[in-house]
Amino acid sequence: MSVLEIVDLHAVVATDGGELPVVRGISLSIDAGEIVGLVGESGSGKSFTALSVLGLLPDGARVSGGRILVDGEDLLSLRAAERRTRRGGTVAMIYQDPMTALNPLMTVGAQIAEGLRAHGVDGAEAKKRTLAAIEEVGLPRPERIARSYPHRLSGGQRQRVVIASALALRPKVLIADEPTTALDVTIQQQILALVDELRVAHDLAVLWITHDLGVVARIANRVAVMYAGRIAEAAPTRSLFAAPQHPYSAALLASIPSPTDTVRGPLPQIGGAPPDLTALPPGCPFEPRCAQREPGCAATEPDPVHRGDADTACFVPRERWTTAEEAG
Amino acid sequence: MIEVTEAARHYRTSDGVVRAVDGVSFVVAEGETLGLVGESGCGKSTTAKLLVALERPTAGTILVDGIDVATARGAELRRLRRTIQLVFQDPYASLNPRRRIAATLAEVLAVHDLARGAAATRRVGELLEMVGLPASVGERYPHQLSGGQRQRVGIARALAVEPRVLVLDEPVSALDVSVRAEVMNLLVSLRASLGLTYLFISHDLGMVRHLCDRIAVMYLGKVVEAGGWRQVSDDPLHPYTRSLHDAVPVADPTVESGRSGRTLTGEVPDPAAPPPGCRFHPRCPIAEDRCRTTEPPLLAQPDGDRLVACHLV
Amino acid sequence: MTQEMPPAAAAVVPAAPRTAGQPSLPRRILADRNGLIGVVLIGALALIALASLVHLGQDPLAQHQSGQLAGPSGAHWLGTDQFGRDIAARVAAGIFASLRVALVSVALATVIGGLLGVLSGFAGGILDAVVGRLTDVLFAFPATLLALALVAALGHGWFNTAVAIAVVYTPIFVRVARGPVLTVRESEYVRAGRVLGFSRSRLLFRHVLPNVSAPIAVQVALALSWAILTEAGLSFLGLGTQPPNPSLGLMVADSRNFFPDAWWTLLFPALAVVVAVVGLNLIGDGLRNALDPRTVRR
């Protein structure tokens, strides 16, 4: 059953020119033991979606509608203090840059223990669980690591520490905001394998935010592709890669060079740029760049429909697509 | 066009001597594209800096179109600047935020006495057109452009001196996925139309495979494998190249689920204290005793134009 | 080109942002609310100071036997002091004296300190080490004590006061300039300039300096306000402007004996100092916002 359920989430950012709609009606649910990849380019609203779940939107940004349910409890209706106990307690987060998530002046062990104590775990027990958490993320000699300061650790070790800290309180939901983007590929591989292991061991529901479709192909059970603040397509990973139901997902996949091409032609380009969120067109936000557009697409914005295995916000079914752009 | 022979760049730090580049040799023919692949600390970015004389080698020689990069001064250095140029990873950081694009490009033309006044304006327009940008972009500041547009400007600035070689240091890594294809296509078409030679530095094996004629893989300041693009990327021989090949996620769940699940353990050692013998041996799944003591030379393989530094291939 | 670029490629430029025709710096300061208030306050003080120069009002030194310590009236708008001198005229002349010392001292500190900071940051090496140690030494002295000692050594007079304050503030400018230079020197656009064959002086003056001018300009506004306070402090202690010449610090010092009965002797000179300090700080805020090209967009 779904542990995290986001229902019709809207978020806005205040600017000089009024409020910018950065998340425009997102619905998404994640089951226990499932990893959902949230894919999108800069400005698509994927980070705002993640931060909304944690209640950590930056100044000027706010959730303007919808519900965020964790185990059936609406986080948005909670008071600030209750919200805080859920944060870290039931919903945890790991970040792109682990250094920003760690206090450089505290030992790693003290930081993990501090998080535990903030949620009511007392001294000796906190210490024990800190060491157990460090050991669980595969770091050798936990006592020594616990006594280290963040700058003494490598990038991969730091990310492991952040994961240990996030999971020490046995959360049900883990939000991962591009946690491997800054890491080398061999270290990324280790972290991906680790998160997958922990997901199985603890039945975690993971929302994995990334722009890297390769990472998604490796670890996600399902994928949601965001465009201009909405989910263009959500589908099981294999279906999405095999037969994308939204022209944007199809174009995104086609633009990546295939590892098996023997003749290297030009990469299919999408062309154009994402729409200006201050002046969204009335129709489908992807319509101006879309290779499959039909006359009706510019008139109204499509709502998600179920097609094949996918939910896709597109009027034009795959069968009607004209060009050979659907990646094979 | 480029001839690097046993080049080394060592830095003295408080932790000892960091061997960022430690005896690297390769050749790039005119019109050819060499891909330089590796993880952070492997020395690929330092190699780029050595080629464009941002850093001078502490040993070895680097020739670019016959110019000795280590000793070039004065007129020779100016000739080097006009022969080889660098495109940076972060197009935002590499553009002066207080200058309009046209001024940034015109400055390069003025410094090299290539064009002034109306001729410079015309040339700026040509350069922007060459990289697929409208002339109106010249009136913008960097922060008013998208990431892809900025990188096109970065390429146009490098092309302003009419170089024959471009060193591309992770030119698409900072860009959005859909924009990467545009910039890659631009690089391919510029190479064809201007007859450019490229040194393409990247950690993204997929992009390297798409653009390069030959690929060299670096680990801890050394080249461990070099060869044709299909050889190195599809049929790697060195255990490190193989691990890299397995580690890079591919946008294809069928390929991904067929993976062995073996992960390379450990991390890249400190370049101030590289391990004895083969530098990869502490992480190598097939290391033997001699790997711990004797450093393997980069040797030609029987399958033709390929070099591998491993005792066990 | 052998291959046609798809027309849609990057030819799409987002709608021209408002910054397209960027307004000039003064306009941008005035567009900032803090900057505008600051400019109005300091502009008013400057006008008053100029008025004192051309003796528009009373003579600040003239003693009016008729009324010592007289309250504000039609003849003396801000009252008179213990010698029957017109406080309005003395405050105006005091403002002029304060601004003169502040401007000269900060100009000296900015040019010398800024130049040393930029050069040492850009060149590095021995120059940087020597300048760094010297600033450390100057920083080791408490600022006011150092200024006191210097004035005592140099002797009285407004210019000597300005020099003393300049010496105290020079190391601040060295640091304010050097820090950003270190960042900008390592920035990729400076590196790109090196690869493109730009000379060191071109890089320094065309690329580094414009990008470190913002923190220096902000520091100038803040230092001016401190300089006014320091000058007032020195005069208060009897080491700045000498009587009978008018000075805000001196007036505050003199009023100590009278202000319970004659509040105007304290209020108006003190108010002038406060307005000057607040106004300059507000201009500093306005400058900070106006000089960052990225804030313009928001």
Q: What token pair was written down for A280?
A: 């969204």
Instruction: Identify the H or E element spanning A296.
Output: none
Residue A216 CA neighbour count, 13 Å, CB half: 28
Q: A304 lies in which domain range?
A: 236-258+267-320
> Tokens 């095999």, residue?
A242
B17-53 CB burial, b ≥16 within 10 A, e <16:
ebbbbbbbbbebeeebbbbbbbbebbbbbbbbbbbbb
Is residue C106 within 8 Å of C223, Cβ to Cβ? yes
Estimate the crossing angle of helix C264-291 against helix C209-236, to 10 degrees. Answer: 170
State the DSSP string of chain B. Answer: -EEEEEEEEEEEETTEEEEEEEEEEEEE-TT-EEEEE--TTSSHHHHHHHHTTSS--SEEEEEETTEETTT--HHHHHHHHHHEEEE-S-TTTTS-TTS-HHHHHHHHHHHTTS--HHHHHHHHHHHHHHTT--GGGGGS-GGGS-HHHHHHHHHHHHHTT--SEEEEESTTTTS-HHHHHHHHHHHHHHHHHHT-EEEEEES-HHHHHHH-SEEEEEETTEEEEEEEHHHHHHS--SHHHHHHHHHS--S-HHHHHTS------S-PPPTTSPPSSSTTGGG-TT--HHHHHSPPP-EE-TTSS-EE--TT-
Q: Are the beta carbons of A266 and C3 separated by less than 8 Å?
A: yes
> Is A16 found in the same domain as A163?
yes
The per-residue pLDDT for C11 is 31
- Whether A246 and A142 map to the same domain: the answer is no
For chain A, give the number of residues.
328
Do A249 and A180 fall within a single domain?
A: no
Q: Are residues A110 and A191 in the same domain?
A: yes
On the CB side of B202, CA atoms within 13 Å amount to 26
pLDDT of residue C66: 66
Would residue A45 count as lying in a domain? yes
Chain centroid to Cα A314, Å, comes to: 22
Q: Is residue A163 part of a domain?
A: yes
Q: Does the CB of A17 have a partner CB in chain C at under 8 Å?
A: no
Instruction: Classify residue A74: in a domain, yes or no.
Output: yes
What residues of C are in contact with residue A271 (Cβ under 8 Å)? 6-9, 12
Looking at the partner chain, which of C10, C188, C197 has a beta carbon nearest the beta carbon of B112? C197
* Total count of domains within chain B: 1
Tokens of C200: 């060191």
Q: How much is the average pLDDT of B188-199?
A: 96
* Pairwise CA distance, residues B209 & B202, whole Å: 10
Residue A230 lies in a domain: no
Q: CATH number of the domain that B58 lies in?
A: 3.40.50.300
What is the enclosing helix (H) or strand (E) of A328?
none
Q: How far is CA B191 from CA B84, B200, B219, in A?
A: 14, 12, 28
A47 lies in a domain?
yes
User: Among A15, A272, A279, whose Cβ lies nearest the Cβ of C12?
Assistant: A272
Domain C27-55+84-297 has CATH 1.10.3720.10: yes
- Name the pairing type of β-strands B2-13 and B16-28: antiparallel
CA dist B196 and B173 (Å) reads: 21
Q: Is the dihedral of CA C132, C135, C141, C143 positive or negative?
A: negative
Q: Given CB atoms, is B113 within the 8 Å cutoff of chain A? A: no
Whether residue A247 sits in one domain with residue A212: no
Q: Which of the two residues, B163 and A276, has the higher pLDDT score?
A: B163
Structure tokens that stand for C147 in this block: 């200024």
Q: Give the number of domains in chain A.
A: 2
B313 part of a folded domain: no
How would you write the pLDDT of chain A (328 residues) with one tens digit per residue? Answer: 789 999 999 999 998 778 899 999 999 999 999 999 999 998 899 999 999 998 888 888 999 999 999 998 898 888 888 888 888 788 999 988 888 888 989 999 999 999 898 888 888 899 999 999 999 999 989 999 999 999 989 889 999 999 999 999 899 999 999 999 888 899 999 999 999 999 999 999 999 999 999 999 999 999 999 999 999 999 999 999 999 999 999 999 999 998 888 888 899 999 888 898 888 989 999 999 999 999 999 999 999 999 989 999 999 999 999 865 444 3
Three-state secondary-structure class, residue A18: strand
**Distance (Å, whole) CA A216 – CA A36:** 8
Burial of residue A45 (CB within 10 Å: 0-12, 13-18, 19+) is: buried
Q: Say yes or no for a CB contact (<8 Å) between A271 and C3.
A: no
Could you tell me if C209 lies within 8 Å of chain B, comparing CB atoms? no
Range of the domain at B173: 2-308
Domain ranges of chain C: 27-55+84-297
To the nearest whole Å, the CA of C2 is away from the closest chain B CA by 6
- C-beta atoms of C189 and B95 within 8 A: yes
> What is this model's ipTM?
0.88
In a domain, residue A149? The reply is yes
Per-residue model confidence as pLDDT tens for chain C (298 residues): 333 333 333 333 333 333 434 567 778 878 888 889 999 999 999 988 888 777 666 777 777 776 777 778 777 778 888 888 888 888 888 899 899 999 999 999 999 999 999 999 998 889 899 999 999 988 888 888 888 888 888 888 889 999 999 999 999 999 999 988 998 888 889 999 999 999 999 999 889 988 888 888 888 988 999 899 988 888 888 887 787 788 888 888 888 888 888 888 888 989 999 999 999 999 888 888 877 655 543 3
The answer for residues whose C-beta is within 8 angstroms of residue C276's C-beta and 6 or more apart is C41, C42, C45, C95, C98, C99, C225, C228
Residue A227 lies in a domain: no
Q: Do B181 and A255 touch (CB under 8 A)?
A: yes
